[in-house]
Structure formats: structure tokens, C-alpha cells
């Protein structure tokens, strides 16, 4: 029986995404925001960018539950996570109590339980991200992305994923070429295809993410030759040019990606950067400008910023 280390963190609702990003960065296998009410359904006639929980509905605190493989250095990893969470306060992010607890659990105790926390997520004007186990009534006018996130590589509930989806929805043109860097569950690649991209390359450096992306592409009945999934370190060694390169990854990794993307972005093409904590935004903008991009769109929510940059000659 496979065992995992279950980590629980009690923090402020407002800092949940920043704490979650730290957990993802430390290779968690499964992440649940237990007290978030992401299943709230907004009125059908409203057009929205994010699935928002109103101020009156927002809990003061949220419990984040994450799962890490039970390996020899697990306690050192937990200490690193604690230190990084405490460091958030130096960026004026209120972590509240920031209490962290952990215990060993069997895979059977959590593998399916976390599914109840993931519901269909409405993003942008016409996108719905649907976990495959959830029923969904649709009028046929929506772009529905069916996802089985496996070990929570991407469900659409995270702000940064939503920001990237919104920017793709705004900018995809029929027949355009798209590269998704750090594809995770494949959610951005699938969205790009369904929105009209002519070709999509999905890239990740994690074997499980590559397998999960391939699985989700099949779930959405997309032929293998229409989305190419590649295991690779960012764009190193990639020679395919693109009209749009999208990346929902952390700011330090984005900084390494930008010069690689600049060499592959077609003239007037776009680089969509999501996963930027606000304190890193100026540095990201300067890096983009230094590689002949101009910022043409910006989304901000909570502690997160996403940028769309256009390549100029």
C-alpha cells in the first residue's frame, strides 16, 4: 500500500493562492482547498472573468491539504515549506495563523475523497472546466474542457490557471500555432485546441504531468496528432515557432523561459505569462521589455498577476 505525507495548513483566505503556489513548487501530489466554495454557480446571464466568492461568502480562514510522497527527506521538505510560508510575511502577505500539521496516510484514504472539492469552474466568457466525475448541463454554447486532474496537476480552480485561460480565450485565432509550457494536466493545451488553434505543443518536464496531459487529451476526444505532448525542460532545444506561447509557472522559471520564448515567438506573436506574484511583476515586465516584448494586457486578482506580451521587431 502506497503511503503519503498529508500536510494541512491553516491560513488566511486571501493568502491561500500564495501558500498553494509554495506547495506546488515543492512537488506536492494532490492539493485541496477544503473550505473554498468553488462550486457556487453564478447566475447564467452574468458574464464574468473569474469564479468569485463574494465578500460575504468568503471564509476568514481556509485549510489547505497537500500530499507529498513519503521519502527519506520528507521532513526536510516540510521544514522548507514552513520557512517559505513564513517568508510570505516579508512580502506583506498575511498568512494568519499559518499553522502546519502533518501525518502519514494510506493512498486509499485520500485518492478519491479530494474529488468532492472540485466542481465545474466557469472562466472567462464561455469556458467551463469540468471534472469528469461531475454532471453538467450545457446549452452547447460553451467551450467545455473535461479534466481528470489525477494528482491535482490542474483543475481550473487556481487563479493563475483561470488568468491564463482568460488570456487564451481573448487571443486565440483560428489556425494559430500554440505552445503550452509547463502543461500540467493539459488544461491550457486543450483549451487552445477547442478555441480554434491549428496546432498545439504541450511541454512539461514531469513524467506524471506528461502522462496526465495525454490522458486528458484522449478524454476530450482530441486526436493525438492535433496536440503534441513533449517531455522537455522549458523550450530548451525546441525549434518550432508559435503565434502564442503560454506558461502558467512561477516567476523565477518564467524569467528563465522568456529569452527562450523570444527566439520562438513569431513577429507580433504573444507570450502569456501566468503565475506571477505581484512582488515579482516589475522584474517580469523588465525582463519581457528587455527581450523585445511590449505588455498589451494585464490581469490581477489577489496576489497574482498575469501578463500578455507581444513580440516586436
pLDDT for the residue numbered 163: 94
Residues recorded for the chain? 313
pLDDT for the residue numbered 26: 82
* Same domain (yes/no): 181, 298: yes
User: 166 in a domain, yes or no?
Assistant: yes
Could you list the residue range(s) of the whole structural domain that residue 301 is in?
A: 158-311
CA 119, CA 55: separation in Å to the nearest integer? 20
* Same domain (yes/no): 229, 305: yes
* Same domain (yes/no): 175, 109: no
User: 126 in a domain, yes or no?
Assistant: no
CATH code, domain carrying 257: 3.40.50.150
Q: State yes or no: pLDDT of 313 exceeds 90.
A: no
User: How far lies 72's CA from each of 2, 75, 102, 127, in Å?
Assistant: 14, 8, 15, 42
Confidence label for 46 from pLDDT (cuts 50, 70 and 90):
very low
3-state secondary structure of 71: coil
Residue where one domain finishes, among candidates 117, 143, 175: 117
* Same domain (yes/no): 211, 101: no
Tell me what the pLDDT averaged over the chain comes to: 84
Residue where one domain finishes, among candidates 61, 96, 117: 117
CA 64, CA 158: separation in Å to the nearest integer? 13
Contact present, 167 and 246 (Cβ < 8 Å): yes
CATH code, domain carrying 109: 3.30.70.260
Confidence label for 264 from pLDDT (cuts 50, 70 and 90):
very high
Domain count for the chain: 2
Q: State yes or no: pLDDT of 57 exceeds 60.
A: no
Higher pLDDT, 256 or 41: 256
pLDDT for the residue numbered 25: 79
User: 131 in a domain, yes or no?
Assistant: no
* Same domain (yes/no): 167, 285: yes
User: 65 in a domain, yes or no?
Assistant: yes
User: How far lies 282's CA from each of 59, 276, 295, 307, in Å?
Assistant: 31, 10, 12, 11
Residue where one domain finishes, among candidates 53, 85, 117: 117
* Same domain (yes/no): 225, 277: yes
Q: State yes or no: pLDDT of 102 exceeds 50.
A: yes
* Same domain (yes/no): 182, 40: no
DSSP 8-state symbol, 70: -
Q: State yes or no: pLDDT of 47 exceeds 60.
A: no
Amino acid at each position: 500500500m502506497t503511503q503519503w505525507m498529508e500536510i494541512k495548513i491553516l491560513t488566511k483566505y486571501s493568502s491561500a493562492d500564495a501558500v498553494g503556489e509554495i506547495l506546488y513548487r515543492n512537488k506536492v501530489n494532490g492539493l485541496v482547498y477544503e473550505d473554498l466554495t468553488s462550486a457556487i454557480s453564478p447566475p447564467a446571464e452574468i458574464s464574468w472573468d473569474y469564479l468569485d466568492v463574494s465578500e460575504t461568502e468568503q471564509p476568514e480562514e481556509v485549510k489547505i491539504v497537500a500530499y507529498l510522497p513519503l521519502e527519506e527527506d520528507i521532513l526536510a521538505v516540510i521544514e522548507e515549506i514552513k520557512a517559505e510560508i513564513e517568508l510570505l510575511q516579508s512580502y506583506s502577505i498575511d498568512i494568519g495563523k499559518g499553522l502546519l500539521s502533518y501525518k502519514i496516510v494510506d493512498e486509499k484514504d485520500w485518492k478519491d475523497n479530494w474529488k468532492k472539492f472540485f466542481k465545474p469552474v466557469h472562466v472567462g466568457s464561455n469556458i467551463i472546466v469540468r471534472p469528469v466525475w461531475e454532471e453538467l448541463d450545457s446549452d452547447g454554447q460553451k467551450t467545455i474542457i473535461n479534466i481528470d486532474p489525477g494528482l491535482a496537476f490542474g483543475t481550473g480552480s487556481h487563479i493563475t490557471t483561470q488568468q491564463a485561460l482568460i488570456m487564451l480565450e481573448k487571443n486565440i485565432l483560428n489556425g494559430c500555432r500554440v505552445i503550452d509550457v509547463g502543461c500540467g494536466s493539459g488544461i491550457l493545451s486543450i483549451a487552445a485546441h477547442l478555441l480554434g488553434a491549428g496546432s498545439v505543443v504541450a511541454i512539461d518536464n514531469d513524467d506524471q504531468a506528461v502522462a496526465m496531459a495525454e490522458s486528458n487529451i484522449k478524454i476530450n476526444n482530441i486526436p493525438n496528432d492535433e496536440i503534441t505532448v513533449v517531455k522537455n525542460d522549458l523550450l530548451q532545444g525546441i525549434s518550432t515557432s508559435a503565434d502564442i506561447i503560454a506558461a502558467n509557472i512561477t516567476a523565477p522559471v518564467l524569467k528563465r523561459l522568456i529569452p527562450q520564448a523570444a527566439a520562438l515567438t513569431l513577429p507580433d506573436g504573444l507570450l502569456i505569462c501566468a503565475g506571477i506574484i505581484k512582488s515579482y511583476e516589475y522584474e517580469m515586465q523588465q525582463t519581457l521589455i528587455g527581450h523585445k516584448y511590449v505588455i498589451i494586457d494585464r490581469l490581477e486578482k489577489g496576489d497574482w498577476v498575469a501578463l500578455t506580451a507581444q513580440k516586436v521587431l
